[in-house]
Structure 1
Amino acid sequence: MSEVIIEGNKRTKTSFLKRLAFVKEGSVLDSSKIISDVRRFKLLPSVASATYSINDVEIDRVKIIYTVVENFAIIPGLNVSQDNNDDIAYRTSIFDFNFLGQNQIIGGFYSKNVFNSYGVFWEAPNLFNRKLGIGINYQNNILQEPIFLDNNKDVNYKYNSKAFEIRAMYEHNFKNRFELGINLANEDYDYLEGDLNAEIPEQLGVKRISVVGEYEFNNITNSYQYVEGFRSIFTYSFTLNSKGDNNLLKNFFIGRNDFEYFKRIGTKGNWANRLRIGYATNSSTPFAPFALDNQLNIRGVGNTVDRGTASIVLNTEYRQTLLEKGWFAMQANAFVDAGTWQEPNGSIDDLITGESATVFSGLGLRFIHKRIFNAVFRIDYGFSLGKKANNGIVFGIGQYF
């Protein structure tokens, strides 16, 4: 092989793409590595699509040409929803997913959800080489958090979490990626209103030092709005040291795994599935980490309507492209969201008995800009198929999963 050429990239640096590529100048021609490079480029936030061609120069000399179609990667965001006081909540953000032309992520958000919150982020997954990078973030989240007690009444607290986190990122190979880091956090709960049990204090606070991490197995291929393959993402937090004034906040391990499976159906259809399993070791606290919420797991159920210390959620939907022209595509989808929870102070049997089970179904639309990274405006309407009488509309940016 004589030469590797990359075309079509304007903002993404050629040197960065060549550093990620398995095919190097002077190496032996290997079609499997070429296909892997194309798939690797497609997974980058800055790349909408990638193809390749092979040109013969002379005997034993060939030229590999990768052609990429870039995404616009500086993305403003605005989400509007309803807060726990039935007022308007919103979150505005701006992120550059191709900072310095090297697919680094930099940006931040500001949100108003009863109280004001903000956060700043920087991630450079390939900062040191093709395999090793780093990520840093700081978040100051202040929310009104409903806590659900045994007397079937909820109590509202002002929840303030200030957290600094740094992670190392390692891509072992094309399909396996690891993250490991340290999170330093101060968390405070201040009572606002509600029927408070005598054993639950009005103020709680804790300082944590936690090991956090993520493992991702990714065998996904994508072509614009179409996705196919399997992905598993395991995230965890393990508290090394926790100093506070109440044992109710001292969860020592929280883990969650998302199993995702996508399949193309014909030329315009896509079947998407997500199984989300979560578990926390401290099952005795009403300040449970897993929330039943519109934006997180069950479309139509409402805004933080329940909590649990373990959960199993299945989301499945069929997406059909109705219109596709140039940069624009419109999809319709039909979905079913189902979940079951282990209640605070409950047992793992809660997940099996189904007393906390919730099933919702519905329809939705997706408006997609094919040249802007993650530019999917979604609207879904979900309604209960079980004992809950809830229904409602859910808006958001990006596919639900």
Structure 2
Amino acid sequence: MKKTLTLVLLFIGLIINAQENSINKITFEGLKRTKETFLKRLIKTKEGAVLDTLKIIGDVERLKRLPGIANASYTFAETPSGTDLTYTIEENFTLIPGLRIATANDGSFAYRVSAFEFNLFGNNQLLGAFYEKNVFNSYGAFWEHPFLFSDKLGVGLNYQDVTTQEPVFFEEGDKNYRFNSRNLEANLLFSFDFNNEAELGAILVKESYSFEGNDPPLPNRPLNLNADKLIYRAAYRYVDLDIEYQYLDGLQSEFTGQYIQLLQGDAPGEEFLQSFISLRNDLTYYKKIGKGGNWANRLRLAAAIGNEDSPFAPFTLDNQLNIRGVGNTVDRGTAAIVLNTEYRHTLYEKGWFVIQSNAFVDVGSWRNAGEDFSQLFDGTSTRLYPGLGLRFIHKRIFNAVFRLDYGFGIGNNATNGLVFGIGQYF
């Protein structure tokens, strides 16, 4: 009898303990635009489930990665019916205008204006468009809903009509071409779990090059190229980042593979714009140092297979992409290794406003058209650019980082240059 009574009391105790450690209610405080139903669908912690602090911490980190959220935290409150869980949210302002100015390849004034909403309808949809004047006119429009079908599956669409003046680097010298690319892209977006994401998509491209300038064209080089392409694209991201406003800690790796299939082209196009495979991986590592420091690193590896001899190479050496201070579209390559490392330090912080200093080193090497992979390591195409910069940051506007950097070239024929833009460089 005593044994039976003991078992009954133990069973009742387990039930009471389970009830006390289960989640009775989940609420969100601080929401203005973001929908609570969207966040409840997104988080892994559910009402009625056993309290799991590690899962809640993971939910907080996932919430902080959303464009619509600047910061998130959680608190518990014990009740007779279980634990009430409250997520406290600080939202970002997410309707972001953009302006970028530069010097075009012909020396004229170039600019790009844009507007993007990153939390459309309160469920972190993206909608945006841009107009660019870079010798010629360009424009594009984008829509993305990462969680359209579920918390794991979404979709993205965009259309771009881009026309620029681009230098093409032949053995006999470089010549300017008018480049036009009209792209229609569709992607499926997968979020497998907290750390792993992927994309699968296709891009239909109509592409053309036409010779520009008053200089005579090179003999036996094309004056015009036209090609229709279909690009099959796959991307995979591993994300393990702790985000606290302007500070990042952890790592992220993103691999992108593309098969660029030539559907139709004129005779020169079949020679210079043939089908090929493009592979690229960006590995970024961040380390928070002390109270105001942040060490950031990016290693980019890229290679093209199938167009090794084409001067219309896919990887560009450019201020805004890889080496600060080098200039605008100064070289092209069929493979690249680029390392960017920088130390960011908060000089001033009050409320929503932050001033951050930056000291960086950008170094990279390229494999030129027709060269072997060994060129990546023999020093003939290596660029080294240390530099200094400033960041002006609004902590509660998504990606509101005004970036200003000056790179100092080291080596023969090196240049110096000022680079500015919106958002951290990486």
Q: TM-score range by the shorter chain?
A: over 0.9
In structure 2, the residue matched to 1:104 is 125
In structure 1, the residue matched to 2:178 is 158
Of stretches 387-396 and 306-315 in structure 1, the one that deviates more from structure 2 is 387-396
In structure 1, the residue matched to 2:209 is 189
* Aligned structure 1 segments of 4 or more residues deviating by more than 4 angstroms: none
CA distance in 1, matches of 2:200, 2:217: 38
- Alpha-carbon contact 2:232-2:259 (below 8 Å) kept: yes
What's the CA shift for 1:104? 0.5
Structure 1 residues 204 and 240 mapped into 2: Cα distance closer, same or farther (>3 Å)? closer
In structure 1, the residue matched to 2:29 is 7
What's the CA shift for 1:126? 0.4
In structure 2, the residue matched to 1:148 is 169
In structure 2, the residue matched to 1:258 is 282
- Alpha-carbon contact 2:253-2:281 (below 8 Å) kept: yes
In structure 2, the residue matched to 1:89 is 110
Structure 1 residues 210 and 389 mapped into 2: Cα distance closer, same or farther (>3 Å)? closer
In the alignment, is residue 54 of structure 1 matched against residue 70 of structure 2? Answer: no
1:33 to 42, 51, 55: 55
Structure 1 residues 159 and 391 mapped into 2: Cα distance closer, same or farther (>3 Å)? same
In structure 2, the residue matched to 1:77 is 98
SS of corresponding position for 1:349: helix
Q: Percent identity?
A: 51
- Alpha-carbon contact 1:242-1:250 (below 8 Å) kept: no
What's the CA shift for 1:256? 1.1
Structure 1 residues 33 and 373 mapped into 2: Cα distance closer, same or farther (>3 Å)? same
What's the CA shift for 1:213? 2.2
* 1:266-298 CA-partner distances (Å, limit 9, x unpaired): 010000000011111111100111111111100
In structure 1, the residue matched to 2:351 is 326
CA distance in 2, matches of 1:55, 1:325: 31
Richer in helix (by share): 2
Structure 1 residues 251 and 196 mapped into 2: Cα distance closer, same or farther (>3 Å)? farther
- Alpha-carbon contact 2:261-2:274 (below 8 Å) kept: no
In the alignment, is residue 314 of structure 1 matched against residue 339 of structure 2? Answer: yes
What's the CA shift for 1:195? 5.5
CA distance in 2, matches of 1:388, 1:116: 32
One-letter amino acid of the counterpart of residue 335, structure 1: F
- Alpha-carbon contact 1:237-1:255 (below 8 Å) kept: yes
In the alignment, is residue 133 of structure 1 matched against residue 154 of structure 2? Answer: yes
In the alignment, is residue 347 of structure 1 matched against residue 378 of structure 2? Answer: no
* 1:36-90 CA-partner distances (Å, limit 9, x unpaired): 11000000000000000011012x6000000010000000000011110111110
In structure 1, the residue matched to 2:329 is 304
In structure 1, the residue matched to 2:312 is 287
Q: TM-score, normalised by structure 1?
A: 0.98
In the alignment, is residue 244 of structure 1 matched against residue 269 of structure 2? Answer: no
Structure 1 residues 387 and 195 mapped into 2: Cα distance closer, same or farther (>3 Å)? farther
CA distance in 2, matches of 1:112, 1:212: 28
What's the CA shift for 1:236? 2.2
CA distance in 2, matches of 1:61, 1:222: 30
1:206 to 214, 217, 227: 227
Structure 1 residues 393 and 131 mapped into 2: Cα distance closer, same or farther (>3 Å)? same
In structure 2, the residue matched to 1:385 is 410
- Alpha-carbon contact 1:144-1:158 (below 8 Å) kept: yes
Of stretches 7-16 and 236-245 in structure 1, the one that deviates more from structure 2 is 236-245
What's the CA shift for 1:200? 1.8
In structure 2, the residue matched to 1:373 is 398
What's the CA shift for 1:199? 2.9
Of stretches 78-87 and 247-256 in structure 1, the one that deviates more from structure 2 is 247-256
SS of corresponding position for 1:316: strand
- Alpha-carbon contact 2:262-2:273 (below 8 Å) kept: no
CA distance in 2, matches of 1:386, 1:332: 26
CA distance in 2, matches of 1:81, 1:239: 30
* 1:376-399 CA-partner distances (Å, limit 9, x unpaired): 001001111222330011010000
In structure 2, the residue matched to 1:274 is 298
Instruction: Provide the aligned C-alpha RMSD in A.
Output: 1.0
Q: TM-score, normalised by structure 2?
A: 0.92
CA distance in 2, matches of 1:136, 1:283: 31
Q: Gapped runs of 5+ residues in structure 2? A: 1-22
CA distance in 1, matches of 2:107, 2:118: 33
One-letter amino acid of the counterpart of residue 212, structure 2: L
SS of corresponding position for 1:18: helix
One-letter amino acid of the counterpart of residue 13, structure 1: K
* 1:353-377 CA-partner distances (Å, limit 9, x unpaired): 1100000011000000001000000
- Alpha-carbon contact 1:155-1:195 (below 8 Å) kept: no
In the alignment, is residue 175 of structure 1 matched against residue 195 of structure 2? Answer: yes
Structure 1 residues 191 and 241 mapped into 2: Cα distance closer, same or farther (>3 Å)? closer
One-letter amino acid of the counterpart of residue 244, structure 2: S
